[in-house]
Amino acid sequence: MAALLSGEGFRFLFRTDKGVVSREVWWLGTALTGAVAFVTTMIWFAIAPMATSDLSRRGLIDPTAIGVYAYLIAYAFVVMLCGICWYNLSAKRFRDLGLAPSLAGLPLVLALFAGAAHWTSPRLPDMVPFWSPWLLDAALAVVIAWTIYQLGFQSSAREG
């Protein structure tokens, strides 16, 4: 485990989709990327209410709102970076199972579509049906469950 947490181990796990990893390594990498995404998301939920700027109270330039939006930019970068790292890790595991490594992108793409549908549906109710975000959420849940089963519980030929 110490070798995986070294610089070379991080480079192998998260910067390329080449190679294979075991279930245990996939769980460890998923926990690491998930923890980073979870912590940064909790920070965003805590500071998001401060993003609104009331001109009558704070004036034209509001340092708090500027700071919150600066964090939002960093947060978006970190979440995308976590997604890329998790894709590279999961592609290795899919390859180990003899499946197409590109399947690792399916949960990420569906999550983007579901998020876009949740954002768009209330703003364009005549063009985007109200049920479409929930349909995409259901598809995302199925794909996540299938991905966790495949990558986290299936044994590869080399694992025995």
Residue ranges covered by each domain of the chain: 21-153
In the predicted structure, residue 21 carries a pLDDT above the cut 90: yes
How do residues 122-151 score in pLDDT, each as one tens digit?
Answer: 999 899 888 999 999 999 999 999 999 999
Structure-token pair, residue 49 = 């209410």
The structure tokens 């708090």 sit at 64
Cβ 93 vs Cβ 20: under 8 Å: yes
Using the structure block, give the residue that is written with the tokens 């990893």. 21
What pLDDT sits at residue 5?
A: 67
pLDDT tens per residue across span 48-66 = 988 876 666 666 778 888 8
pLDDT value for 128: 86
Distance CA 68, CA 46 (A): 10
* 69-112 confidence digits (pLDDT tens): 999 999 999 999 999 999 999 999 999 999 999 999 999 999 99
